[in-house]
């Protein structure tokens, strides 16, 4: 790749530990390393809430936006009261990510979101979320296979997903069914206007969305970065196609 596209990756707040650590912005290395291995130049973005001028100056230098997993989206962002099982939220991250999504969609910049990223996309476009799938979604299978020392790993394949045949997702993965990892307790409730659902868990929960037009706007509920080590792995194609779409903006 002669010119490497710059991909923005919003961070998450790490609260201060009194006497040990000030407030920090953090992001998992795995996302950044996979993007880099696919030819991108990742730009890790600070959460300067309400400083729109600085965020815009960063955004204008980006060729694509990638949003990762993380804490829950605050339900006030989609007009709901907090459910007792809604977990920790990060308002500066919500503001930053929703702003980036709306700008990217308005300008046609490629967007790719995983886990929380698909949820943020849905909220930014006017949709809503189940704040706790196990308690709010009828007949839910187990989606919250979070890693632990004696339990699941991040690459644990938890359940199959059904993929719509005519979708970008099906084209990239080369299949209409695959098995994915699963580390989330929230999920899409009301699908936002302008998005189409393209992948579903066995219980019917939405696992993938795309823009209705030809723009590269893609979200998946699982964590493909954990399944992308092999250069021939289907999940890696989600990243390589995203980076290629971003590269087209600088050619």
Average pLDDT value for residue range 147-176: 94
Name the average pLDDT for the chain. Answer: 96
Q: Which fold has domain 6-250?
A: Rossmann fold (3.40.50)
- Which residue of the set 145, 210, 223, 247 is catalytic? 223
- Which residue of the set 207, 210, 225, 226 is catalytic? 225
- Which residue of the set 115, 125, 178, 247 is catalytic? 115
Average pLDDT value for residue range 230-248: 94
Is 225 designated active site? yes
Helix residue ranges per DSSP H, the chain: 29-37, 52-59, 91-107, 116-124, 133-136, 168-173, 234-247
The pLDDT, as a whole number, for residue 115 is 98
Average pLDDT value for residue range 240-244: 97
The pLDDT, as a whole number, for residue 78 is 98
For residue 145 the two structure tokens come to 């296979």
pLDDT band of 233, cuts 50, 70, 90: confident
Is 159 designated active site? no
- Residue spans per domain, the chain: 6-250
Average pLDDT value for residue range 97-104: 98
Q: Per-residue pLDDT for 220 more than 80?
A: yes
159, 199 contact by CB (below 8 A): no
Pick the more confident residue, 16 or 130. Answer: 130
Q: Per-residue pLDDT for 2 more than 80?
A: no
Q: Per-residue pLDDT for 230 more than 80?
A: yes
Q: Which of 1-15, 74-88, 105-119 has the lowest mean pLDDT?
A: 1-15
- Gap between the Cα atoms of 88 and 132, Å rounded: 12
Query: Of all residues in the chain, what percent carry a pLDDT higher than 70?
Result: 99
Taking only the tens place, the pLDDT of each residue in 14-62 is: 999 988 999 999 999 999 999 999 999 999 999 999 999 999 999 999 9
Distances (CA, A) of 226 to 14, 54, 91, 151, 172: 22, 32, 27, 16, 17
The pLDDT, as a whole number, for residue 148 is 86
Average pLDDT value for residue range 200-206: 98
The pLDDT, as a whole number, for residue 22 is 94
92, 74 contact by CB (below 8 A): no
Is 226 designated active site? no
């Amino acid at each position: 790749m002669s010119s490497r596209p710059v991909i923005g990756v919003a961070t998450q707040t790490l609260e201060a530990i009194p006497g040990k650590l000030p407030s920090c912005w953090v992001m998992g290395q795995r996302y950044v390393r996979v993007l880099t291995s696919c030819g991108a130049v990742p730009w890790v973005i600070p959460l300067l809430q309400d400083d729109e001028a600085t965020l815009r100056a960063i955004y204008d230098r980006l060729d694509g936006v990638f949003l990762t997993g993380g804490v829950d989206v605050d339900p006030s962002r989609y007009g709901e009261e907090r459910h007792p099982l809604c977990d920790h939220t990060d308002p500066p991250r919500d503001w930053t990510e929703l702003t980036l999504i709306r700008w990217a969609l308005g300008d046609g910049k490629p967007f790719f979101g995983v886990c929380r990223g698909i949820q943020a996309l849905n909220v930014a476009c006017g949709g809503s979320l189940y704040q706790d799938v196990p308690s709010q979604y009828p007949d839910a299978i187990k989606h919250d296979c979070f890693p632990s020392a004696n339990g699941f790993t991040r690459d644990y394949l938890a359940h199959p997903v059904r993929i719509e045949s005519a979708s970008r997702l099906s084209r990239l993965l080369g299949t209409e069914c695959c098995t994915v990892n699963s580390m989330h307790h929230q999920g899409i409730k009301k699908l936002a206007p302008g998005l189409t659902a393209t992948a579903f868990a066995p219980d019917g929960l939405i696992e993938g969305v795309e823009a209705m037009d030809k723009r590269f706007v893609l979200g998946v509920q699982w964590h493909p970065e954990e399944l992308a080590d092999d250069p021939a792995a289907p999940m890696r194609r989600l990243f390589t196609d995203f980076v290629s779409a971003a590269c087209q903006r600088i050619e």
